Amino acid sequence: MNEFAYLVSGAAGITWEMVFMWAIGGLLIWLAVKKDFEPSLLLPMGFGAILVNLPYAGVIGSGGIIEWLFKVGIDTSEAMPLLLFVGIGAMIDFGPLLSNPRMLLFGGAAQFGIFFTILMAAFLGFPMKDAMSAGIIGAADGPTAILVSQVLNSSYKGAIAVAAYSYMALVPIIQPAAIKLVTTKKERSIRMPYNPESVSKTTRVLFPIIVTLIAGLIAPKSVALVGFLMFGNLLRECGRLDALAKTAAGPLANLITIFLGITIAFQMRADVFVKWDTLLIMLLGFVAFVFDTIGGVCFAKILNLFLPAGKKINPMVGGAGISAFPMSARVIQKMGLKEDNQNHLLMHAVGANVAGQIGSVVAGGIILSLAGTILG
């Protein structure tokens, strides 16, 4: 009988934590397939969570492909999130922001949730490296969250990646509630005429270079994040490298996305994921998204105190200053139309939204820079 023990050795190695992680994996796949929530990342992560939680899984341990991908693609160099940034940069059209640059300020204000969440996490007793990593969920930007939590060597990298992508998918539910909490119907009905200035090709080409220089000089640690994002954008805007820009925005981004999700699942092993603190991290991620939105909205309300009538900003546009593009801009457009069916806020919100993409990577870089002094 012992000769057949190998047939049941896998089943005999199952623990309840593994089964729990299968359920989590199944939930992520269900959200991706049934609810269309960030399917390109939640589906690979969900399947990866099942893979790495099989007893004696051949994908982890020495020679295991997922462990190897993690070590090479994320642990050693953070290559995967950074390469994905080249693709994201090649996808982004900064035109709406360049023609209406004051939206940049909202890309800064809506990073408030990151720092508020760090404070909350510290208050709850998390060590600073984990508090800062939890806060970065508020960057509303998967690659930034993965990179910062990896560099800070957080104990909750898997939970942080899951939270970042899950809440990004939940932006259409989280943001309207947070915005309604801090605005009145009258404020949400403020009209904003859209009179964009024309943007020259010189501005479009110089923009990624100048952003890299400014961010790099003020927050040197942000150079990898900002630089790769802006490199992708330069490929797009230079007008001479269409084939490269299309490859970066298409095949490169798709290839990295396929493997990023399944690689991140390495951090979703039951032994590192199933603990009460993971639940707290997920809750903190929610706090981060809510306070990002509130930060952007309240900043717009403060600006309105100094703006003349007719020039006032619809505070909801401030809430679009997070990095979750284009979900956040769409949410604001929808909410604006709900209050007044002639109030089109989309282009303003798109400007704030792409500003949020710059703001989030700058915030990530600043946290990494300041971590040096805080963590010693």
- Positions touching another protein (CB under 8 A) are 97-99, 101-102, 104-105, 107-109, 111-112, 114-116, 118-119, 121-123, 125-128, 131-132, 197-203, 206-207, 210-211, 214-215, 218-219, 355, 358-359, 362-363, 366-367, 369-370, 374
Of the pair 113, 176, the CB lying nearest another protein is at: 113
Helix (H, G, I), strand (E, B) or coil at 179: helix
Of the pair 19, 214, the CB lying nearest another protein is at: 214
Of the pair 21, 368, the CB lying nearest another protein is at: 368
Q: How far is CA 283 from CA 117, 131, 137, 268, 275, in A?
A: 10, 13, 11, 17, 13
Of the pair 111, 149, the CB lying nearest another protein is at: 111
Smallest gap, in angstroms, from Cβ of residue 165 to another protein?
23
Smallest gap, in angstroms, from Cβ of residue 317 to another protein?
15
User: Is-contact 41 260, C-beta < 8 A?
Assistant: yes
- Which DSSP category does 193 fall into? -
Of the pair 79, 374, the CB lying nearest another protein is at: 374
Helix (H, G, I), strand (E, B) or coil at 364: helix
- Which DSSP category does 184 fall into? -
Q: For residues 140 and 130, what is the distance between their CA atoms, to the nearest angstrom?
A: 17
Smallest gap, in angstroms, from Cβ of residue 207 to another protein?
7
Smallest gap, in angstroms, from Cβ of residue 292 to another protein?
12
- The helices-and-strands tally (H runs, E runs) of the chain is 22, 0
Of the pair 150, 360, the CB lying nearest another protein is at: 360
User: Is-contact 330 324, C-beta < 8 A?
Assistant: no
User: How large is the greatest C-alpha to C-alpha distance in the chain, in angstroms?
Assistant: 86
Of the pair 54, 213, the CB lying nearest another protein is at: 213
Smallest gap, in angstroms, from Cβ of residue 106 to another protein?
9
User: Is-contact 121 129, C-beta < 8 A?
Assistant: no
Q: Which residues have C-beta within 8 Å of that of residue 162, sequence separation ≥ 6?
A: 28, 45, 268, 282
Smallest gap, in angstroms, from Cβ of residue 342 to another protein?
28
Of the pair 308, 372, the CB lying nearest another protein is at: 372
Q: For residues 77 and 327, what is the distance between their CA atoms, to the nearest angstrom?
A: 30
Q: How far is CA 265 from CA 42, 46, 151, 258, 260, in A?
A: 10, 8, 17, 12, 9
Smallest gap, in angstroms, from Cβ of residue 120 to another protein?
8
How crowded is residue 288: how many other Cβ atoms within 10 Å of its Cβ? 32
Smallest gap, in angstroms, from Cβ of residue 359 to another protein?
6
What are the backbone angles phi and psi of residue 76, rounded to the nearest 5°?
-75, -40
